[in-house]
Amino acid sequence: MSRESDHRTLHNRVLAELGPAIAAGRYGPDHVFTLDGLVREFGVSRTVAREAVRVLESMRLVVSRPRTGVRVRPRSEWSVFDPQLIRWRLAGPGRLEQLRSLNGLRAAVEPPAAAAAARLASAEERAALVDLERRMAATGRRGDLEGFLELDIAFHRRILELSGNDMFAGLSGVVAEVLAGRTEHSLMPPTPRPEALCLHRHVASAIDGGLPQVAEAAMRAIVDEVVEALEGGGGADGGRDLGPGGTDPGAQGPGGPTAAG
Amino acid sequence: MSRESDHRTLHNRVLAELGPAIAAGRYGPDHVFTLDGLVREFGVSRTVAREAVRVLESMRLVVSRPRTGVRVRPRSEWSVFDPQLIRWRLAGPGRLEQLRSLNGLRAAVEPPAAAAAARLASAEERAALVDLERRMAATGRRGDLEGFLELDIAFHRRILELSGNDMFAGLSGVVAEVLAGRTEHSLMPPTPRPEALCLHRHVASAIDGGLPQVAEAAMRAIVDEVVEALEGGGGADGGRDLGPGGTDPGAQGPGGPTAAG
DNA sequence: CCGCTTCAATAGTGTTATCAATAGGGCGGT
DNA sequence: ACCGCCCTATTGATAACACTATTGAAGCGG
């Protein structure tokens, strides 16, 4: 599912090892690499190593200075919105923490985005959104989780795009990553909850009807549900999937896999 | 004030020309550069040109492929959260549009961040925040705009940091950019409005008192005021392009420079 | 004994030359 | 008209070298 960054070029392959390692905190902060060390470790030319460092530098993961070498910066200075860095963190031990942060961001942004969409979307766009929601609900009820995920992502992305705010739209990739990550790690019930589907329909029809406040409230309900599932359900983490007492999908107590993003 | 990105290295100097040009839409989308073209145009070696391209590629401004060259991607695919790209856009003709987007983002994020800070901050952190606010207000009343700006930035940054959310904290640089950009372009009144100062005090004391909802509401009042000033007052823009029907900066109707975000 | 200056070792920075690999477009065949 | 092959433009990668900034320590003087 999650397409890893082009392993076609060599410097990207170096990045694919170095980036996650740094993002996971295996080196840091103030750990120092030397270019020659990277050259030897990865068996690549100096040029390639330098290109990789340039990219890491542009994400503010490292600084490169003469005589000093390539120094890892403290986490607080990283460009945490860089999609690549987000993916690296989602792939590593910081996954749960990263998911929490991202959901907090979603909770903040998506409701206002839905409100803005309700104000700005054109007639065709509203119709298309409603149609999208319908297909999503149908797919969900059919139990086609993969298809549902795809449409769910499309739904949220479309709303962010319709908000008319570049920055909101720029988060659509992040949202996709979160949603995909959730199903990928079995945090989803086998079939989306009817309540969640219902809320999505409310969002769609509120935007269709030009009701910003309703759209905002409905979207807030959706994202808050997810946040609660993640915060309350507790860090069922450790490794990759549900932790101690991984609840049987059938018996969903309070905090079981519940949301449908 | 706005520290330009290290012009120490050569590839950064290339970036400093190429990046803003692309961000401004001077080449766009599907425009194709050739590496040799860049080498000739900037008088640098192939290595340096490639490093610059690598960075642009990591921001998703371009894709580089054999035989094809370096192709500019459509704006919708850019990493709009990249701090460097934000600065480039703020420096160019898209400045007003960019400011609007960023303010929308602030309006979405800062209130929840304030709420979270009210829940999570430690006793010392609360005290420090209150103190910070006091100094800010004093500086503002004294009419020291530059000092006020600095403390205002520090105030908002601190709250984002105290939210306990990496992503929120990651926006502090962006917020700083917006606030700095505002005074830099004379969108600020000569002395901060008392109402704005009062709201800041409310935020600080609500966080200090552990009242998330109050903190959220007060912060919302602050950012909404700014948003209204920007949307309503229209771009009293010192830059190159006001939109069609750009209002005369002298005649500040409802929504002249008013806020103190 | 402390502090300033000087110097040299040590990285990254930048250049050039050269070869390999890829992919787009044209050419020819069917 | 369509398909597939080949040609070549352009990026990808390597190597070897000269340049430069930084820093830490030696040396000098107060």
Instruction: List beta partners, residue A72.
Output: A62
> How many angstroms is C1' of C26 away from CA of B26?
32
Instruction: Please answer yes or no on whether B79 and A170 come within 8 Å at the CB atom.
Output: yes
User: Can you give the pLDDT at residue B156?
Assistant: 97
User: Can you give the pLDDT at residue B4?
Assistant: 57
Instruction: List beta partners, residue B72.
Output: B62
Q: Which of the four pLDDT bands, split at 50, 70 and 90, describes residue A7?
A: confident
Q: What would the mean pLDDT of A161-183 be, rounded to a whole number?
A: 90
Instruction: Please answer yes or no on whether B167 and A101 come within 8 Å at the CB atom.
Output: yes
Whether CB of B64 is under 7 Å from strand D: the answer is yes
Express each pLDDT in A173-200 by its tens digit. 889 988 887 777 666 677 778 888 999 9
CATH entry 1.10.275.10 includes domain A93-232: no
Nearest nucleotide, CA A49 to C1': D13
Q: Within an 8 Å CB–CB cutoff, is residue B112 touching chain A?
A: yes
Q: Within an 8 Å CB–CB cutoff, is residue A68 touching chain B?
A: no
The dihedral built from the CA positions of residue B99, B101, B107 and B108, taken in this order, carries a sign that is negative
Whether CB of A10 is under 7 Å from strand D: the answer is yes
Q: CA-to-CA distance for B218 and B215, rounded, in angstroms?
A: 5
Whether CB of B50 is under 7 Å from strand D: the answer is yes
pLDDT higher at B249 or A39: A39
Q: Within an 8 Å CB–CB cutoff, is residue A155 touching chain B?
A: no
Contacts of B169 in chain A (CB under 8 A): 76, 80
pLDDT of residue A233 exceeding 80: no
pLDDT of residue A210 exceeding 50: yes
Task: Count residue pairs from A and B with Cβ separation < 8 A.
Answer: 105
Please list the ranges in chain B whose pLDDT falls under 70. Answer: 1-5, 185-187, 232-261
Of B55, B79, B165, the CB nearest to A101: B165
pLDDT higher at A6 or A138: A138
Q: What would the mean pLDDT of A197-219 be, rounded to a whole number?
A: 96
CA-nearest residue to B169 within chain A is A76
User: Can you give the pLDDT at residue B5?
Assistant: 66
User: Phi and psi dihedrals of A64, rounded to 5?
Assistant: -120, 120
| Lowest mean pLDDT segment, chosen from A64-78, A233-247, B33-47, B131-145 | A233-247
Class of domain A10-77: mainly alpha
Orientation angle between helical segments B194-208 and B145-162, nearest 10 degrees: 30
- Amino acid at residue number B70: V
Percentage of residues in chain A with pLDDT exceeding 90? 67
User: Can you give the pLDDT at residue A226?
Assistant: 82
Instruction: Please answer yes or no on whether B170 and A81 come within 8 Å at the CB atom.
Output: yes
User: Can you give the pLDDT at residue A228?
Assistant: 79
What are the residue ranges of CATH 1.20.120.530 in chain B? Answer: 93-233
Whether CB of A97 is under 7 Å from strand C: the answer is no
Q: CA-to-CA distance for A223 and A182, rounded, in angstroms?
A: 13
Q: Within an 8 Å CB–CB cutoff, is residue B130 touching chain A?
A: no
Express each pLDDT in B39-69 by its tens digit. 999 999 999 999 999 999 999 999 999 999 9
Of A54, A79, A167, the CB nearest to B105: A167
What are the residue ranges of CATH 1.20.120.530 in chain A? Answer: 93-232
Q: Within an 8 Å CB–CB cutoff, is residue B184 touching chain A?
A: no
Token pair for residue A13? 């392959």
User: Can you give the pLDDT at residue A254?
Assistant: 45
User: Can you give the pLDDT at residue B6?
Assistant: 80
> How many angstroms is C1' of C22 away from CA of B21?
29
Fold of domain B93-233:
Four Helix Bundle (Hemerythrin (Met), subunit A) (1.20.120)
Whether CB of B34 is under 7 Å from strand C: the answer is no
Nearest nucleotide, CA B37 to C1': D10
Express each pLDDT in A48-63 by its tens digit. 999 999 999 999 999 9
Do residues A249 and A257 make contact, with C-beta atoms less than 8 angstroms apart? yes
> Mean pLDDT, chain A, as a whole number?
86
Instruction: Please answer yes or no on whether B102 and A167 come within 8 Å at the CB atom.
Output: yes
Do residues B70 and B55 make contact, with C-beta atoms less than 8 angstroms apart? no
Of A11, A79, A104, the CB nearest to B82: A79
Do residues B159 and B261 make contact, with C-beta atoms less than 8 angstroms apart? no
Nearest amino-acid residue to C23, taking CA and C1'? B67
Do residues B148 and B135 make contact, with C-beta atoms less than 8 angstroms apart? no
SS (H, E, C) chain A: CCCCCCCCCHHHHHHHHHHHHHHCCCCCCCCEECHHHHHHHHCCCHHHHHHHHHHHHHCCCEEEECCCEEEECCHHHCCCCCHHHHHHHHHCCCHHHHHHHHHHHHHHHHHHHHHHHHHHCCHHHHHHHHHHHHHHHHHHHCCCHHHHHHHHHHHHHHHHHHCCCHHHHHCHHHHHHHHHHHHHCCCCCCCCCHHHHHHHHHHHHHHHCCCHHHHHHHHHHHHHHHHHHHHHCCCCCCCCCCCCCCCCCCCCCCCCCCCCC
A167, A168, A175, A227, best to mutate vs chain B, most B CBs in 10 Å? A167
User: Can you give the pLDDT at residue B61?
Assistant: 97
Q: Within an 8 Å CB–CB cutoff, is residue B58 touching chain A?
A: yes
Q: How far is B250 from chain A (nearest CA, A)?
A: 28
Instruction: List beta partners, residue A213.
Output: none
For the beta carbon of residue B46, count every other beta carbon within 10 angstroms: 12
CA-nearest residue to A84 within chain B is B58
Of B54, B75, B81, the CB nearest to A51: B54
Do residues B38 and B52 make contact, with C-beta atoms less than 8 angstroms apart? yes
What are the residue ranges of CATH 1.10.10.10 in chain A? Answer: 10-77
Of A75, A83, A100, the CB nearest to B79: A83
